[in-house]
Structure 1
Amino acid sequence: MKLLLTSAGIKNASIHNALLDLLGKPIAECNALCIPTAIYPFPSGPAMAYRFISGSTSNPMSELGWKSLGVLELTALPSINKEYWVAAVQEADALLVYGGDVWYLSRWMRESGLADLLPSLHETVYVGVSAGSMVTAPVFGETYDDPEAPFVIDQGLGLVDFALVPHLNHGNHPESSAAKVERMAAEVPVPTYGIDDQTAIKVTGGVVEVVSEGHWELFRPEPRTP
C-alpha cells in the first residue's frame, strides 16, 4: 500500500505533488472513498463528518476534483454484505481517512474488517489526516482532555514502522508540543515523527520521504537497558 500521511490534509503544492506522484495519474481520473468514522465521538461529529465529505473543512481532501467520491462508513460495514464493500474498496484509487479519535478509528478499522484488507491493496493510496495518519503506526499515543497528562500508548495498524504525531507545536494542540512529543517518543519502541500542518510523510515501497513546507522533527526512542 502507498501512503500519504498528513497532519491537516493537502495543504500546499508540495503535498499535492506527492499525492499526484503516488496516484500516478491526474486526480480527475481517480476514484476516492471518504472514511469519516473517527470524527463521530467529537462534539458536532455528524456535522463535521458532513463538512469533510462535502469538502468544506480546513483540511483539503474531498474537494480536490476526484472523478468520483464515495463514503465508506466503517461502523456500517459489519452489517452489510462484505463482498459489496470490499469490491468498492478494491476499485478505489484512494482512501481518504479523516481525523478525530484515533482509538475509535483503530477499533473500527479492525471490527469492520478493513484493517485486514489494507495490506493487500498494493496500488491504493491511503491518505490520512491527523488521527487517520496516526492509526497507521505500530503504536500511537494521545491525550485529548488533559495535555499535561501522560500519553496513553496503544497498538496501531502497523502499516508503517514509525509513529506519528500531527499538529506539531500548533497553538490549538498543546498535546502536540515538541517537548510533549519528545516525552512520548521516549516511551515507544519505534521512531516518532512530529509533523506540522504543512508537512506530510510519503511512504511507497517501504521508502519513507518527508514532504514539507513547514516544520517537522524525528524523535528516536530511548535505548533500552538489558
Structure 2
Amino acid sequence: MGVTLTVRTLPADPWDDEDWFSELARLIAGGEPPWWLRRFLVYWSRCVRVAIAQDGRRLTRKKVLDRLVKAGKELKAARDVLNEPQLMAFVVPPNYFFEHFGGLDLALVKLEGMIERAKSSPRLVHAGGKIKNGASKAVPEDVLSAQVLCAAIIYEVSAVFTRGEYFAPSNAYLGRCALKLWECSGGEIKSWGNQPHRAWRPYFVEAKERPRDDIRAELKGCVA
C-alpha cells in the first residue's frame, strides 16, 4: 500500500471555479460556511500550489547527501592546496602576498563544518546515520513540504469550528479536507486504495509539531 502524489493540469483560472472551493468550505464548516472561508482557502491554495512546484524541483535525499559528500571532499582538497606553499607557488602570480588567501581559508573551514552538520540532518538520515528513503525528496528543516503546508492549513482552519479544539492527526475528517484542498491546489493522489485520506496522517503529525503563526494570525483576523 502506498501513496503517489503528482501534479495535475488545472483549468486556466481554477480559483474562479466557485464549486471547487465552495464545496471544500462546506466540508470544513460542516454546513453553510462563513463568508470569509472560501476567500481564505483560495489564498492559501495558491501557496500550496507554489509549494508543489518547488517540491517538484527538489533533489532526492540520496542525491543531496551524495552532493554534500562530494563537496566536502572538494573543499578539503582546495584547503590542502591553499596550505601547501609548493603548490601555491604555481597558483599565484609572482610577488603575490599569501595573506590574501587567509580569509578564504577560514571561509572554507567554516563551510566544511556546515556541510558536515548538514550530512547528519534528520531530514536526510536517521539517528544512526543511515540515509532515509532515497526516493523521497529532501526538504530543508526550515521549510514545509507542500503536503505538510496543506495539512497545516486544514489543521488550523478546522479548529475555528471546534472553538479552538484541534483534531487528532489521524482524524478522517482532517484527511478528507486535506485531500480536497490538495486537489483544489493542483495535486492528485493516484493510489491509496479506497481511503486516500489516510495518506495524510504523517503530514498532520508534522503540521501539529510545526505550527504556522502566519496561518493562525490570518484566521484570527477573519473571525474577529
TM-score with structure 2 setting the length:
0.24
Higher relative contact order (CA 8 A, sep 6+): 2
Q: TM-score, normalised by structure 1?
A: 0.24
Structure with the bigger percentage of helix: 2
Larger Rg: 2
